[in-house]
Amino acid sequence: MAQVLVVYGTTEGHTRLIAETIVYWLQEDGHQASAIDASAIDSETILNSVDRVIVAGSIHQGKHQPALAHIVVKERKRLSSLPTAFLSVSLTAQLDDAQHQGEVRMCVDRFFEETGWSTPQVLCVAGALKYSQYDWMKRALMKAISAQFGGDTDTSQDYIYTDWDALRQFVSDFMAGESSRNSA
């Protein structure tokens, strides 16, 4: 079985939940797996004893987390020698129209360009609307944006849009060595 590392960057915690869920699935399938927040990684290399890496980051204001980009740049050579996958998590990924899907892909392409790393295994994952974690200004802004697209506006609760079945299938395909570039 494989030794898998999920390196993630998160702002409000949903990408952490995704990473931890993937680790659970991988362990359930008999693999050794762990997840680490890119912002918690020290200067030592983290990829010496792994067979595969999943990099996961959320998009905020058009960019993935700087700490995640930093680790990818630092570990780019090793990442290029391993089977890798990239998960790009955003609220925009839930919108099915060509314009919004194009915007998400542009963010992924920008991340690859800025880090000098890429992988053919990419999944754009719908994230979460975490009203409970926003201050009043961000809550009002996110409610207005959500309303503009016919989304959820009840700020008394959070909303998770992640397609867990599609994510699990992507991870299974990645572990089986199948290549794909799509969104869920």
Are the C-beta atoms of 101 and 132 separated by less than 8 Å? no
Please tell me the distance from the alpha carbon of residue 55 to that of residue 44, in angstroms, as a whole number: 17
Percentage of residues in the chain having pLDDT higher than 90: 62
91-123: b or e for each residue (b if 16 or more CB lie within 10 Å)?
Answer: bbbbbeeeebbebbbebbeebeeebebbbebbb
Beta bridge partners of 58: 89
Kindly indicate the confidence band of residue 44, based on its pLDDT and cuts at 50, 70 and 90: low
- H or E element that contains 103: helix 98-115
Kindly indicate the confidence band of residue 182, based on its pLDDT and cuts at 50, 70 and 90: very low
| CATH architecture of the domain with residue range 3-127+162-183 | 3-Layer(aba) Sandwich (3.40)
What residues does each domain of the chain span?
A: 3-127+162-183, 132-159
Minimum mean pLDDT range among 48-62, 86-100, 136-150, 162-176: 86-100
Predicted structure pTM score: 0.90
